[in-house]
Structure 1
Amino acid sequence: MTTKTMGTENKPMIKPVQKQSMVDQVEKNLRIYFKEHGFKPGDTLPTEMDLAENMGVSRNVIREALSRFRMLGLISSNKRKGIQLKKFNLFSALERVLDPAVLDADTLHELFELRIMLEIGMANALFRNVTPEDIATLRDIISTYETSGEGTKIDYEISFHSYLYKISHNETLYGFQKYLKIVFDYVLEAEAKIDKNEIPAKKVNHTELVECLENGTLSEFQGLMHDHFSTYFEMDFFKRLMEE
């Protein structure tokens, strides 16, 4: 049995350990500090000067570390209130650091699958929070598009499904609706590559979803929402895209 060595004539087999930058260490320490001291959204943090003195680093290092939190929407600051912790929203944070225009096909495909899973799974929240006013708004969205033809089909789809996310009263879930346009654009582009004769007609339309949300049961709505997306299941839409 021979043992491989890392001679100077060969490339190293193990990458050298990378030292954390000062900003990385400060960011990590701040995260621990927020957690251990029970900071909550709306709480005011120590000033940059106080943080710098307590951590033994320059204000520039503190400022750069805090800019990372600000980029993710974790903190906000103004002259009157100082630096405050904000409620974290996953999809809003993603929007700040991720440009939808440069998403690759695999990521778009996964976002489309995620959208279907979210919309079938959020039925519980919809039935818990929906009001007669919400039903009226959904019907108005449908009526406006079908009678006046205003806007594109994508605009209509986004308006309808975005409002469903809003009814859920889940801020993290509602944050995902910002990605709906890029997902719809992706789906339409993918559908254009498929023979129209191979695309089954939708089994369930928006009006049927609203009627069930108003008068049906939770399980019935989940079934209808699944059938609303059945077109993509029946023609192996996901498999086709993965094979391209």
Structure 2
Amino acid sequence: MTSKSLQPLQQPQALYKSVQDAIRDYILENELKPGSALPSETQLTKMLGVSRNSVREAVKALQLVGLIESRRGSGIFVGKFSVDPLLDNLPFSLMEDKQQFFDFLEIRRVLETGMIKTAVATITPEQIEELESLLQKMESLAQDDKRFPKEDRLFHQTIYEHLDNDTFIKLLDIFWLMFNRIVDYVDLTRQTPLEIYEKHVAIVRAIKAGDAEEAYQCMARHYDDIKLWG
């Protein structure tokens, strides 16, 4: 395969961002794999017609998200990209904008209701026991009019943990991190702890019965109640 070259850039503003785009395009167009060598900083400077500082800023930014890696004495290489750095920073972005939080909540609702039927079909007896144990803890706290974010977080993780989808579990974690940060500042739900507990009871009842459609409906209602008061 003939390697596609880099061309001089024509964008004077935020030049390092244009350099990032050029490097990303170069990787994609040449179908480079993790570990593949990239042009050196000196070569990038000449090929793109930009300053060394612009190239260094771009390289540093792409390193932060794992797209490339720089090895001292060896050069620049395509990295093993991971979404983790992006996901780790997402809660700080969502904290600034309540509407953005609810937009993300809607994405989470679609994902979780979309996965629940598969989870019901494959969930293990041990997971159901864990869910019932968490319900007992939730009930105890709810009877004292206390909320149960820790148990709630574990509840949702337990439903899906056997699906072996690390990115999905990461998204669940981000939601709860964000929820716990923002709940002190905005009224996300006017349900009492006991009402929230009952929603979780209904979800477990459907899962235990193997009723995927009812589990889907219960999970959807759970999210609708949160969104209702947003």
Query: TM-score surpassing 0.5?
Result: yes
Aligned: 1:139 with 2:139: no
Aligned: 1:159 with 2:154: yes
**Residue ranges of structure 1 left out of the alignment (5+ in a row):** 1-16
CA shift, 1:33, in A, is: 1.5
Kindly report the root-mean-square deviation, in angstroms, between the aligned alpha carbons of the 2 structures: 4.1
Aligned: 1:222 with 2:220: no
- 2:67 corresponds to: 74
Alignment check: 8 A CA contact 1:158 1:181 kept:
no
- 2:6 corresponds to: none
Give the distance between the partners of 1:143 and 1:159, measured in 2 at CA.
Answer: 13
Alignment check: 8 A CA contact 2:135 2:200 kept:
yes
1:88-237 alignment to 2 at 5 Å? Answer: 88-89=82-83, 92-96=85-89, 99-100=92-93, 102-127=95-120, 129-146=122-139, 153-177=148-172, 178-184=174-180, 186=182, 189-190=186-187, 201-202=195-196, 204-232=198-226, 236-237=228-229
TM-score (norm 2): 0.67
CA shift, 1:100, in A, is: 4.8
Letter in 1 for 2:212: L
Give the distance between the partners of 2:137 and 2:91, measured in 1 at CA.
Answer: 33
Equivalent pairs: percent with the same residue? Answer: 21
- 1:13 corresponds to: none
Give the distance between the partners of 2:140 and 2:197, measured in 1 at CA.
Answer: 21
Instruction: Please tell me whether Structure 1 or Structure 2 has the larger radius of gyration of its CA atoms.
Output: 1
CA shift, 1:31, in A, is: 0.9
Aligned: 1:36 with 2:29: yes
TM-score (norm 1): 0.64
Give the distance between the partners of 2:32 and 2:128, measured in 1 at CA.
Answer: 38
Letter in 1 for 2:165: N
**Residue ranges of structure 2 left out of the alignment (5+ in a row):** 1-9
Alignment check: 8 A CA contact 2:131 2:158 kept:
yes
